[in-house]
Amino acid sequence: MDDTSYNASELDPLILFADNHLLALNKPAGLLTQDSGTGLRNVEDWAREWVRVDKNKEGNVFLNAVHRIDKVVSGIVLFARTSKALGRLNEDIRRRNCKKTYHALVEGVPEIPSTELIHWLVHEHHRSEVCEEGVKGAQRAVLRYRMLKKVKSLTLLEVDLETGRYHQIRTQLAAIGLPIAGDVKYGATVRPENQGIALHHASLDITHPTTRAPITITAPYPNPSEWWSQV
- Among 145-159, 164-178, 212-226, the minimum mean pLDDT is found in 212-226
Q: What is the CATH number of domain 8-230?
A: 3.30.2350.10
> Is pLDDT above 60 for 168?
yes
What does the pLDDT look like over 36-88, one tens digit per residue?
A: 788 888 999 999 999 999 888 877 889 999 999 999 999 999 999 999 999 99
What does the pLDDT look like over 121-141, one tens digit per residue?
A: 999 888 999 999 999 999 999
Is the previous residue joined to 224 through a cis bond, with omega within 30 degrees of 0?
yes
Q: What is the pTM of this model?
A: 0.93
> Is pLDDT above 70 for 4?
no
Residue % of the chain over a pLDDT of 70: 98
> Is pLDDT above 70 for 16?
yes
> Is pLDDT above 70 for 162?
yes
Q: Where are the domains of the chain?
A: 8-230
